[in-house]
Amino acid sequence: MKELDPLILIAVFQEMLGPLLWPLIALFVLGTLAFLLLLVRERRIVARRFMWSQVVGLFGGVMALVIMARVSASGYSDAVGPADWILLVAVYVAGAIGAAVLAYTLAGWMRAAVRSGERP
């Protein structure tokens, strides 16, 4: 493989994550939209919440690799080509970013619900 084709990357992601690929992408997109709405509402990034969400993101990246290994038909030892290793890193990064965004968003919306007198 001389070129890195996006369709090949999608096929390899589908092989690695199986049926969880599209629900995880949907969760990532919805979480990002909720994050953007929270930013519009608060008009700033809360530093303490941002720091803790990054810590959660580290564990989210590891969990993304664990989930990938459990649902995949192949294991880590099957990753021999450069596309496989690029996608392993991409799975970790996507899991880390997704978990950090979701943690920040959930903490922010829960705080907003408590402030307005509602119970989450």
Residue pLDDT, tens place only, 16-27: 777 878 887 888
Burial state string for 20-46 with b = 16 or more CB within 10 A and e = fewer than 16: bbeebeeebeebeebbeebeeeeeeee
Nearest to 68 by CA among 88, 98, 96, 85: 88
Residue scoring higher pLDDT (73 or 92): 92
What angle in degrees, to the nearest 10, is found between the helix axes of 82-115 and 47-71? Answer: 140
Domain-wise residue ranges, the chain: 6-115
Banded pLDDT at 42 (limits 50, 70, 90):
very high
